[in-house]
Amino acid sequence: MVPEPQTPATVPMESIAAGLRRERSRSELSLSEVARRAGISKSTLSQLEAGKGNPSLETLWALCVALGIPFSRLLDPPRPHIQVIRAGEGAAVAAAESDYRATLLSASPPGARRDVYRIDAEPGTVRASDPHMPGVVEHILLACGRALVGIAGEAVELGPGDYIAYPADVPHVFEALVPSTRAVLVLEHP
């Protein structure tokens, strides 16, 4: 019996909305200032804080950089004692310009400085990432497929089992070269 393909879960907007409100309040920044820093409209941020809309990965990253927080802080679910996330499950956020999804598997617990994501990507459009906060390093372990990964203009082709680490506080890319490319991304915070 062949299992049915699973549709990736999406991040509950209530969690994103609550996280945005909490972090903006903590940073003591106005709606206008956070929107300006993130390069989005004030009305878009207002809608997101109200739990409306379907933000792209790029929009959420820009907001996290504007707020000076790790991306996982918006998605961090409660941690059970034992956690299992099956393939195709978990809170996934899709990129707007490429067939690329990031699923948070583990956010940094107190005292740690890393988040773990599963990456599912398809060939077509390059996932070009803007710089993250200063000092952030990305670690990629390619599980299957082939991909060009790394600093923009210096990306390296990876195959199954290959690993790369690079500074993510500069523009960087992930480009799937074959269908069903999968990777593990560890985002290391300073």
pTM metric for this prediction: 0.59
Q: Per-residue pLDDT tens for 11-48? A: 578 888 888 988 898 888 999 999 999 999 999 999 99
pLDDT tens digit string along 139-175? 999 999 999 999 999 999 999 989 999 999 999 999 9
- Decide if 15 contacts 74 (C-beta within 8 A): yes
In contact, 38 and 66? CB cutoff 8 Å: yes
Count other C-beta atoms under 10 Å from residue 181's C-beta.
25
Confidence bin at 5 (pLDDT 50/70/90): very low
**Could you give the CA distance from residue 24 to residue 5 in angstroms, rounded to a whole number?**
38
pLDDT at 149: 95
Contact 171, 126 (CB under 8 A): no
| Number of residues that this document lists for the chain | 190
Kindly provide the residue ranges of all beta strands, DSSP E only, lying in the chain, ordered along the sequence: 9-10, 91-94, 100-106, 114-121, 127-129, 137-144, 147-151, 156-158, 163-167, 172-176, 181-188
